[in-house]
Amino acid sequence: MTGAKRSTRGTTIRFAACVLFAACVLAVSGCVGGFTGGATESTSDSTREAQREVCVANERNIDMASQAYYTDQQSFAPDLEALAQSGMLADVPKCPGGGTYTLDVSNGEVTCSVHGRY
């Protein structure tokens, strides 16, 4: 009978250890999931901010090209392609956030459909 009690006690301890281990694994995976979710949001925010900064830099380059075009032609460019064809821009930049740039022909200012005017 003593041997049977020891066997049951050992099984109970092993079972409790397994349950404790499983609980720890679940707790840690929940924490890691929480950290990952936070990192994903943070990364997403960082990505959007980086896209905005690149967009602003693009707008400033377009504005400078537009002013140079005006100085050379005595009128503002009709569109971004004209700035590129004139050599004032190396190429027509693209907004990294998926926006489109619109050039105001009355004043040469550019606006992004996603990020607006800088």
CA angle 97, 99, 101 (to 5 degrees): 130
Q: What are phi and psi of 116, to 5 degrees?
A: 75, -155
Task: Give residue limits of the domains in the chain.
Answer: 2-112
pTM passes above 0.85: no
CA angle 55, 61, 67 (to 5 degrees): 135
C-beta of residue 81 within 8 angstroms of C-beta of residue 100: no
The tokens of 47 are what?
């990505």
- Is the pLDDT confidence value at 32 over 50? no
- Is the pLDDT confidence value at 101 over 80? yes
